[in-house]
Amino acid sequence: MVSAGTHVTIDAYVKDSVVFMEGTLKVLFTELVNALGMTILFGPHFIEVPIDPEVLKKAQETGIFHDEGGITGFCIINTSHVSIHTWPLQKFFSMDVFSCSDFNPEIAVKIIKKHLGVDKNRININVLQREKPLTIWGHLKENSLIYS
């Protein structure tokens, strides 16, 4: 298999949701991208959705997810992107690190855990090595896709 990059997703709980502040997240994104040998092209940018405890209460009562607010952030890197979604009332986050170049996922996870104070017993990590298609470019010829 020829690699088309590494993709790491992390869903985890933190010990203290105070880490879900824009300043902390900016430092995390910057250190992460630099440690992986990549370059930030845009961002990181963060948007805060007002927190509403009543929405969380409704979700807990019904068992149906409703977004009670938090911070969402992203940055575009020279090889793809990094993003995070946080839910401070639940002390939970979902993070995505993707690059079309290979990187060491253990370095990424270590940095994320360090900055966010992840609860080691409440984390789900997925690492995917993307498979590169044999050909990337094709053109149409008489209603058929011809790969070059």
Q: Is the model's pLDDT at 1 over the cut of 90?
A: no
Provide the mean pLDDT of the chain: 88
Cβ atoms of residues 42 and 75 within 8 Å: yes
Mean pLDDT of 22-26: 97
Alpha helices in the chain (DSSP H): 22-35, 53-62, 105-116
Q: Is the model's pLDDT at 38 over the cut of 60?
A: yes
* Cα–Cα distance measured from residue 108 to residue 35, given in angstroms and rounded to the nearest whole number: 8
> 76 has which bridge partners?
42, 81
Mean pLDDT of 6-24: 95
The residues spanned by each domain of the chain are: 3-147
Q: Is the model's pLDDT at 137 over the cut of 60?
A: no
Q: What is the predicted pLDDT for the residue at 107?
A: 95
Q: Is the model's pLDDT at 49 over the cut of 60?
A: yes
CATH of domain 3-147: 3.60.90.10
Least confident residue range of 27-36, 39-48, 58-67: 58-67
Give the residue numbers marked as catalytic. 80, 85, 100
Burial label, 26 (beta-carbon count in 10 A; 0-12, 13-18, 19+): middle
Percent of the chain at pLDDT exceeding 90? 70
What's the pTM value of the predicted model, to 2 decimals?
0.83
Place of tokens 């298999």: 1
Cβ atoms of residues 75 and 40 within 8 Å: yes
Tens digits of per-residue pLDDT, 51-93? Answer: 999 999 998 899 888 889 999 999 999 999 999 999 999 999 9
The alpha carbon of residue 24 and the mean position of all alpha carbons in its chain are separated, in whole angstroms, by 15
Percent of the chain at pLDDT exceeding 70? 87
